[in-house]
Amino acid sequence: MGDDSYITFLDPPRTDFVFKKQPDFDLHIALEVELKHLRAMNAKGIRAGKYVRKPIDHGVIHSIYFHDPNGYVIELSAPTSESHQHAKEALQFKGQNVLLAWSNRQKSITGRSSNTMFT
């Protein structure tokens, strides 16, 4: 990705996984794209006969949603203005504080820092 962040998809060996249908509100991945790309992908999905939720205006972003072959929801979001950057920075700050609070709670429960939770 452009900002040196990354996503890792893991497929653990000898692990069965069965996808179950469930609400998709928090079971999705959101990717930021330019508005022209969002519109192009919306049109492409419709032309291909795929279900694409109509574009939603969230205020600072517009989003479309569709399903990957396993049924997971993919959200493409495009900023609507420069105010998006300010909102994004505020959410990042809030997210970092939420993660820090979670890490501190885990440490108080387990006595270990969160980076050793699963080792």
* pLDDT tens column, 19-48: 677 776 677 888 989 999 999 999 999 999
Domain 1-80: give its CATH code.
Answer: 3.10.180.10
Instruction: Please give the Cα distance from 79 to 87 (Å, whole number).
Output: 10
pLDDT in tens, 65-83: 998 887 788 999 998 876 5
For 95-115, what is the mean pLDDT? 76
Percent of the chain with pLDDT over 90: 24
pLDDT of residue 117: 42
Q: How far is CA 99 from CA 28, 96, 105, 114, in A?
A: 19, 5, 10, 10
Q: Is the pTM of this model over 0.85?
A: no
